[in-house]
Structure 1
Amino acid sequence: MKLSRILSNQNGVSRQQANRAIASGLVRVDGEVCTNAAREVSRFQGVVVGDKVIKRALPAHYLMLNKPAGYLSATWDPVHPTVMELLPPEIRADLHIAGRLDRASTGLMILTNDGLWSRRLTEPEIKLPKVYRVSTLRPIEPHTAQRFEEGIWFAYEGLTTSPATLEQLGPTDARVTILEGRYHQVKRMFHAVGNQVTSLHRERIGEITLPRDLAPGAWRSLEPDEVQSVPTGRATVFGKAGRLAVT
């Protein structure tokens, strides 16, 4: 919402009076004087006129979770446990999931209440790499890496996947990096080359990597550099394991 509108809505003044207050240097956004009446102010930023608080900043949460198998990537389900049940009750209602995993899959999940930030994290055009550790039912054929690099045709969507890389780690183990996040994408890619995924573990999204010492079911706040690695240019947060990250 524009700064002038916030002042006129919350402070009981006209838009003209709000503009004059802003131009005179009486208004601060997040502690800094702002003279731009058209500035967009997010719900995570506070606004003060003189000594009067006009708008309080809401806390911004950026969390990573090591998802165990058996949990749904959902906010609620009547049958199965969800990843939200692994988080403190007082913050669950405000969070949404940025990049889902199916119930059998494990690994890195991101949860936040910042919709603009999460859209940048998952937006296909940004092409942030997503890295998975994969085990397969049958040995991985030598041609698989080339097929993934060329792209796999998905008839349902009527498209070819973006080039993906496969690093073979063993006869039935590999690390796969994709630049999209289509429905069951990695499993469908292996199915297209005549194989079947038996386990899928997400290790990384962009520059955010799941720590080896974060146990299944555990969570922590993202560090400032992790949040800022997603190209939004806005958030500054601080967090420690088991604590909320806030602006």
Structure 2
Amino acid sequence: MSKLTLDRILQSQGFGSRKYCRSLIEDGEVAINGEVVDDYRFAPDTEGLAFTLFDEEWVYREHVYIALNKPANFECSRKPSHHPGVLTILPEQFSWRDVQPVGRLDHDTTGLLLMSDDGAFIHAQSSPKRHVPKVYAATTHDAVTDELIAQLLGGVKLHDEPAPLAAVTCRKLDAHLLEIVLEQGKYHQVKRMLAAAGNHCSALRRTAIGGLQLDALELEEGEWCYLDAEQLGLLVPA
């Protein structure tokens, strides 16, 4: 079991600099098991540690794994240029602990976005070698046809791509709504594939990554949740 002093624990959880965390403790803002702890050198076991800060309950997490139902008009960049960053949706301490999006969704694309401060997890989930299927619901300008689906399944040629890119599966959900499953993560891939097939994507929503379904998380747009071990286990190749 890890033995960190209380000021380091608060710092690791994103509550500010070590100096600031010490001041919080010395001011009596931190309680464990209902008892105020004002000695920053106190070193509780972090396993299962729960503490109260500013009268709000927190649980120690070595790393955080988050699912966000991303709204439109938020950028996944840490240095957004034209729209607010997705990190502004989350509590401020997640920025302090360097939480980052796992991959990116375009600013106007909505739906399931993973975020974490675990570098190994981010790298593994972002690797194209993993072939984790990502499911999208695309609203199309023109009606969805059998010919369009056949083109997407057969592969379409995109500019700057050496070989045609194909959907893993593709099916019509409604007259202008298409479900498309991809294993790559190319720039604007769904939109570019639809354009190459002679249609236009007017709205795009990611509904699943691997076996993790956005609907099962019951998140409204702009809401987020922690992912547990069972849910993380769903983020595997098909």
Same fold (TM over 0.5): yes
Displacement of 1:89: 0.4
Question: What residue number does 1:205 align with?
Answer: 209
Which residue type is aligned with residue 222 of structure 1? L
**Aligned to 1:120, which of 97, 119, 124?**
124
Is 1:71 matched up with 2:74?
yes
Cα separation, partners in 2 of 1:195 and 1:224, compared to 1, 3 Å: same
**Number of matched pairs:** 182
Task: Tell me, in whole angstroms, the C-alpha distance in 1 between the residues paired with 2:130 and 2:166.
Answer: 12
Q: Paired residue for 1:229?
A: 234
Give runs of aligned pairs for residues 1-247 of structure 1, distance below 5 A: 59-93=62-96, 94-211=98-215, 213-230=218-235
% of aligned pairs identical?
Answer: 28
- Displacement of 1:152 in angstroms is 1.6
Output the amino acid matched with 2:220. Answer: A
Partners in 1 of 2:233 and 2:182 — Cα distance? 21
Structure 1 gaps of 5+ residues are: 1-28, 32-42, 44-52, 232-247
Deviation at 1:122, TM superposition (A): 2.1
Q: Secondary structure at the match of 1:153?
A: coil
| Partner deviation per Cα, 1:45-70 (whole Å, 9 max, x = no partner) | xxxxxxxx9xx897111000000011
Cα distance, 1:100 vs. partner?
0.8
Q: Please tell me the residue identity of whatever aligns with 1:60.
A: H
CA RMSD of aligned residues (A): 2.5
Q: Provide the C-alpha distance between the structure 1 equivalents of 2:164 and 2:158, rounded to a whole number of angstroms.
A: 6
| Deviation, structure 1 residue 78 | 5.0
Q: Secondary structure at the match of 1:100?
A: coil
Structure 2's unaligned 5+ residue stretches are 4-11, 13-42, 48-60
Contact 1:120/1:230, CA 8 A, preserved across alignment: no
Q: Which runs of 4+ in 1 moved over 3 A?
A: none
Partner Cα separation in structure 1 for residue 67 and residue 185 of structure 2: 18
8 Å contact kept, 2:102–2:116: yes
> Does structure 2 retain, via aligned residues, the 8 Å contact 1:151–1:164?
no
Q: CA deviation at 1:175?
A: 0.8
